[in-house]
């Protein structure tokens, strides 16, 4: 009997509420040190509302993958220099790294961490941190966050952040079970004003509402959808221009070698590939010897790729192509063989695997423009494509080399009679085209795989663009590339990527049937056979 009583007493003591915060926090910390994802997730959620001063530091460490646990469930944070600190006190701890295991996270834990950090960072000093935090809370749609959001709202002075917090609050209110209908309808109005995909997603999530709320939500979804439809049209145009700029880059060099010189160069794609590998080597070299200028590696790679690909182009012209002028079939076969040789050579030197070319941070991510998501890497490539085009046109128009090139292509014999060394001009023209392809390779290394096959995927498209635009005309190439890009991107959602490509090809064939010399054929007697 006494034993029973003692047990009961023990049980009561065990269950009685302890000194509150501290104990809840301790329990949460212990949960973090387990290997069960559910337990860890609950630990994170408990910690975020425990009010413990170390909570933010520990959760941040977990977020960054720097939180370690020992077998006895003690937690440690790994410092930047590889030493460890006790997670609960912050004091330096002398523990061997072998005794520790990183706390593992999965997607569920990661969501909880993001939401928890969002709530904790709502009161950060930095405006952009607060904005990101509000967005994280918005995505979490956690009703428990409402009190914290209210506090943050009362304190907030920045109008953008304030709006974002209001939206987060609206999402949280809609997710809670005890909000009134009036609150909900207010919340729906807030989300409707936000009007993007996430807002639509939050509204679409609503189930089991009263008729008034459901009606408001349905109306809001319709309004958002109508708005988004308009943006998606613009989006397709942008994607089309972006694809067009890639095609333009790939085809600009070909417009010189094929368009101006009339050489069917099947190894053109390999020049692009070589440009991409030059980028890779430049990155490796800078990483090894000059890490200080690493962010500018692409700017260094561009001229180098031009020079390397250009020199290889000149070498190809001198050793192979000059013997084959006027024999298109032989040129085609010889350059096709050359492209295989170049591919296998690169494969032997660099290995068959893809090479990892870094994207500089200023080219990663995206920016929002209304309902458009514009990715930076594509924007820079569009810009780069037009810069290359402008430079190429200027070179042909204003330099003496350009003048000679035009002279030779327009009338070779007359040019020779005027004292122009046509063989050298041929070599330099081919080198220029190849060099431009090399520069395209630098850009393509940012969006495609740097592998020996990189060029193959662009050679057909490049020929299509040049033929469609009109052989020998850079403006035609530009317009051809943009048209093909936009048509492709409008067809893709409707017909799918595979069928879309086929349709474009058929349309192109029909077009060439009607206008065999492309959109903008060179006029006059200039073109000799």
Partner 1 sequence: MNPIQPNLSRRGLARLGAAAATVAAMGVVKAATSPAGAQSGEPIKVGILHSLSGTMAISETTLKDVMLMLIEKQNKAGGLLGRKLEAVVVDPASNWPLFAEKARQLISVDKCAATFGCWTSVSRKSVLPVFEELNSILFYPVQYEGQECSRNVFYTGAAPNQQAIPAVDYLWNENKVKRWVLAGTDYVYPRTTNQILEAYLKSRGVATEDIMINYTPFGHSDWQNIVASIKKFGSAGKKTAVVSTINGDANVPFYKELGNQGIKATDIPVVAFSVGEEELAGLDTKPLLGHLAAWNYFESVDNADNKAFIEEWKTFTKNPKRTTNDPMEAHYIGFNMWVKGVEKASSIAPDDVIDAMIGVAVPNLSGGYSAMMPNHHITKPVLIGEIQADGQFNIVSQTPGLVVAQEWSPYVADTKDLIGDWRSPLKCGAFNVQTKTCTAGKKA
Interface contacts to partner 1, rule CB under 8 A: 37, 65, 104-108, 110-111, 114, 139, 197-198, 200-206, 228, 232, 235-236, 239, 242-243, 246, 343-344, 347, 352-356, 358-359, 364-366, 373, 375-378, 447-453, 457, 489, 492-493, 496-498, 501
Count Cβ atoms within 10 A of the Cβ of residue 71 and give its class: 0-12 exposed, 13-18 middle, 19 or more buried: exposed
Cβ closest to partner 1, residue 219 vs residue 403: 219
Cβ closest to partner 1, residue 75 vs residue 243: 243
Cβ closest to partner 1, residue 176 vs residue 449: 449
Euclidean distance between CA atoms 203 and 308, whole angstroms: 55
Distances (CA, A) of 187 to 151, 195, 213: 17, 13, 10
Residues 55 and 26 sit within 8 Å (Cβ to Cβ): no
Cβ closest to partner 1, residue 153 vs residue 363: 363
Cβ closest to partner 1, residue 244 vs residue 435: 244
Cβ closest to partner 1, residue 167 vs residue 202: 202
The CB-of-265 to partner 1 minimum distance in angstroms stands at: 21
The CB-of-109 to partner 1 minimum distance in angstroms stands at: 10
The CB-of-497 to partner 1 minimum distance in angstroms stands at: 4
Euclidean distance between CA atoms 285 and 278, whole angstroms: 10
Strand partners, 286: none
Residues 450 and 280 sit within 8 Å (Cβ to Cβ): yes
Alpha helices for 353-473 (secondary structure H): 376-398, 400-410, 412-417, 422-444, 456-469
Cβ closest to partner 1, residue 103 vs residue 321: 103
Cβ closest to partner 1, residue 204 vs residue 295: 204
Residues 319 and 341 sit within 8 Å (Cβ to Cβ): no
Alpha helices for 51-99 (secondary structure H): 55-63
The CB-of-211 to partner 1 minimum distance in angstroms stands at: 18
Helices 37-50 and 55-63: angle between axes, nearest 10 degrees: 140
Take residue 76 and report the two structure tokens written for it.
């440690």
CA angle 469, 470, 476 (to 5 degrees): 45
The CB-of-351 to partner 1 minimum distance in angstroms stands at: 8
The CB-of-461 to partner 1 minimum distance in angstroms stands at: 10
Cβ closest to partner 1, residue 343 vs residue 434: 343
The CB-of-447 to partner 1 minimum distance in angstroms stands at: 6
Cβ closest to partner 1, residue 128 vs residue 344: 344
Report which secondary-structure segment, H or E, holds 220. Answer: helix 211-254
Distances (CA, A) of 116 to 95, 145, 261, 443: 28, 9, 63, 39
The CB-of-104 to partner 1 minimum distance in angstroms stands at: 6
Take residue 367 and report the two structure tokens written for it.
């920016």
Cβ closest to partner 1, residue 441 vs residue 470: 441
Euclidean distance between CA atoms 376 and 134, whole angstroms: 24
Take residue 350 and report the two structure tokens written for it.
């660099």
Strand partners, 50: none
Residues 390 and 474 sit within 8 Å (Cβ to Cβ): no
The CB-of-493 to partner 1 minimum distance in angstroms stands at: 6
The CB-of-101 to partner 1 minimum distance in angstroms stands at: 10
The CB-of-108 to partner 1 minimum distance in angstroms stands at: 7
Cβ closest to partner 1, residue 105 vs residue 392: 105
Euclidean distance between CA atoms 410 and 430, whole angstroms: 16
Distances (CA, A) of 155 to 129, 136, 162, 165: 15, 18, 9, 11
State the pairing for strand pair 67-70/84-86: unpaired
The CB-of-165 to partner 1 minimum distance in angstroms stands at: 20
Distances (CA, A) of 270 to 244, 437, 460: 20, 9, 12
């Amino acid at each position: 009997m006494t034993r029973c009583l003692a047990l009961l007493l023990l049980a009561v003591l065990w269950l009685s509420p302890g000194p509150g915060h501290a104990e809840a926090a301790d329990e949460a910390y212990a949960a973090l040190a387990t290997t069960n994802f559910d337990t860890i997730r609950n630990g994170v959620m408990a910690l975020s509302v425990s009010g413990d001063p170390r909570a933010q530091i520990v959760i941040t460490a977990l977020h960054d993958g720097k939180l370690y646990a020992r077998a006895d469930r003690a937690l440690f944070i790994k410092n930047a220099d590889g030493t460890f600190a006790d997670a609960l006190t912050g004091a330096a701890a002398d523990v061997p790294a072998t005794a520790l295991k990183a706390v593992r996270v999965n997607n569920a834990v990661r969501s909880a961490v993001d939401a928890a950090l969002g709530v904790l960072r709502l009161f950060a000093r930095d405006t952009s941190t607060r904005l990101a935090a509000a967005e994280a809370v918005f995505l979490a749609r956690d009703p428990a966050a409402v009190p914290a959001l209210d506090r943050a709202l009362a304190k907030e002075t920045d109008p953008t952040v304030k709006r974002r917090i209001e939206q987060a609050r609206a999402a949280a209110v809609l997710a809670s079970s005890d909000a009134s209908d009036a609150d909900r309808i207010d919340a729906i109005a807030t989300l409707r004003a936000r009007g993007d995909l996430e807002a639509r997603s939050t509204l679409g999530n609503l189930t089991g509402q009263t008729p008034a709320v459901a009606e408001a939500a349905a109306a809001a979804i319709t309004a958002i959808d109508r708005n988004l439809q308009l943006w998606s049209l613009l989006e397709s145009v942008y994607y089309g221009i972006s694809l067009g700029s890639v095609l333009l880059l790939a085809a600009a060099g070909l417009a010189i070698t094929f368009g101006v010189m009339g050489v069917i160069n099947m190894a053109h794609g390999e020049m692009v590939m070589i440009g991409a590998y030059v980028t890779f080597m430049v990155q490796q070299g800078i990483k090894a010897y000059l890490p200080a200028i690493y962010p500018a590696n692409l700017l260094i790679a561009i001229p180098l790729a031009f020079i390397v690909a250009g020199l290889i182009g000149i070498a190809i012209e001198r050793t192979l192509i000059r013997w084959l002028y006027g024999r298109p079939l032989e040129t085609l076969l010889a350059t096709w063989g050359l492209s295989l040789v170049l591919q296998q050579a690169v494969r032997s030197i660099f290995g068959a695997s893809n090479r990892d070319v870094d994207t500089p941070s200023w080219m990663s991510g995206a920016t929002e423009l209304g309902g458009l998501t514009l990715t930076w890497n594509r924007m820079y490539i569009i810009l780069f494509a037009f810069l290359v085009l402008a430079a190429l046109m200027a070179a042909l128009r204003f330099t003496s080399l350009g003048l000679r090139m035009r002279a030779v292509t327009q009338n070779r014999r007359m040019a020779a009679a005027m004292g122009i060394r046509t063989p050298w001009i041929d070599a330099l023209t081919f080198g220029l085209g190849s060099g431009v392809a090399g520069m395209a390779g630098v850009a393509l290394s940012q969006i495609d795989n740097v592998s020996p096959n990189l060029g193959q995927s662009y050679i057909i498209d490049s020929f299509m663009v040049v033929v469609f635009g009109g052989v020998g005309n850079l403006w035609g190439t530009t317009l051809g590339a943009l048209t093909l890009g936009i048509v492709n991107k409008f067809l893709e959602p409707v017909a799918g990527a595979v069928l879309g490509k086929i349709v474009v090809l058929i349309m192109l064939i029909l077009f060439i049937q009607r206008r065999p010399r492309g959109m903008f054929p060179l006029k006059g007697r200039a073109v000799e056979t």
